[in-house]
Amino acid sequence: MKILTKLSAIVISLAAALAAVSCEETPQSTIQPEEVLGSFVYEGNTYNIRSVVVYELDNNQTQIWISETAGYTTVDEIEASVGELVITIPDSKIGKGKQSFDQEGNFVKYDDKVNSGFCTLKCDLDSDNQMISFEFSSQKLKAAQNAIEGSYSGPYSVYTLEELENQWAYNRQPKSITAVDYFEMEDGEPSRLVIYENETRAIELRLAKKNIGVPVTIGGSSTPIETEVLFDNGEEFKISSSYGKILVAPSEESISISIKLTNDGGKTLAANYEGAYRFRYANKANRCIFDSGSEGYGYNGKFELTNISISETANEITFRLTPGEHLENGVVNTNLAPSFKVSKRLLNEGEIDARNTTEAWEFSYDMFQVYSYDASSPDRTRANEGSVFSVERNDNGKYTLNIEVSYMISKPVTQDKVDENGNIVYTEVHKTDEYGSPLYDSNGDPIMETVPVKETIMVDFPTTIDLYYNQAN
């Protein structure tokens, strides 16, 4: 954590302030004046102002933390004391003269009593950023039904936080992010993001698909109605009375996450992450997503499943599914039907580890086939680690299949040859023109050029199947 000590000058006359976002460590101290340079009145009592800390939130909000005790230079010190006063104000209101407003995310807070109603505020900074001067008047506090007002003109300390790095934080206490799941809902419901700190669901976020990949403003009417935020294994962070910013931007290889929120009680929730994630479909439709591992292969893509036929033996059950309309990429061939054969002992057993189960199963589509492990047939294609499936049968005899299986295939790839040190190997060849005819110089000698030596090697690529079918649908 890092703290900047500034002397600043503001003149503020308030309107319930806004809410902020923050996180990180605790700044170091800066000396505050012992003399009384301002005061505020609450419930008929006058309280002297001896410490002022400006908390600069990176969400277009600023908080002013006020204490009767001299010498406080951090938000943490004031929060740990008795009788702290907190004003949250939009950055746009600073230096704009007397403002009157009633805006979601703005608030005045005294101890545990919060007023998010109508306020007036005037806040100015001098040109040298040495002094803050403010006046404010809040109409009522929710709990006490009393007005609170005050003014101050003097020096202050500035509290800033280092950026989180693959961390999340509730109320400025950073913790590590260990994993991220991103769920795309196929039934049109909002996408879901889950951030983990070890086994803890640190933050859960619901966000409409149209808001994925773009900055989202939280506050009042700007807040998308589908948005929901939970933290610390399911506790609600009330988004309807919060202010801040959210960005969730997944790409093929990684995901970028930035969350900066403050609720009307002044509590902050933040996260910053850039890295690997697990992509999953949820609330699935009846469809199959197939990736052969070969770019341009005609049957790659997502296609619906329109029907299922079922046959049984004493020990096994086979599902043959009918492909229908093409949904993404590729071409659907209705003569090629995904087929899944599985031991009856795996019915209604929940999620099965496809690679390591010794019970028989087999999936086939087109020329691709993958099997359960069989020590007597070690050359058969085996599923990769992390492959799973489930086969459920309900009381009405209807089946639900959920298959997420990948396996490796080998294919030839031509590439530049390298030596034992990883350097590209070059050779000289007779240069040709655009028509392939050899070129010669004025003396009739061949024109030579240096080019990399090419070699063809076999490379392993994953083939993946993500198939879902609910017979009851």
For 321-330, the pLDDT digits (tens) are 999 888 777 7
* Phi-psi map region of 329: left, alpha, beta (phi>0 left; psi -120 to 50 alpha): left
Asked if residue 464 lies in contact with residue 384, where contact means CB atoms within 8 angstroms, the answer is no
The Cα 169–Cα 202 span in angstroms is: 9
The Cα 136–Cα 100 span in angstroms is: 10
pLDDT bin (cut points 50, 70, 90) of residue 87 is confident
pLDDT bin (cut points 50, 70, 90) of residue 20 is very low
Report, as an integer, the average pLDDT of 24-48.
69
Residue environment code for 25-60, b if the CB has 16+ CB neighbours within 10 A, otherwise e = ebbeebebeeeebbbbebeeeebbbbbbbbbbbbbb
Report, as an integer, the average pLDDT of 275-290.
92
Kindly report which listed range (254-258, 261-265, 341-345) carries the lowest average pLDDT score. 261-265
Asked if residue 215 has pLDDT above 70, the reply is: yes
Q: Residue 472: what pLDDT?
A: 85
pLDDT bin (cut points 50, 70, 90) of residue 198 is very high
Cβ-Cβ contacts under 8 Å for 19 (sequence gap 6 or more): 61, 88, 105, 106, 107, 219, 241, 242, 243, 244, 261, 262, 263, 264, 266
**What residue ranges do the domains of the chain occupy?**
38-159, 167-281, 290-401+462-470, 418-452
pLDDT bin (cut points 50, 70, 90) of residue 19 is very low
Q: Residue 8: what pLDDT?
A: 40
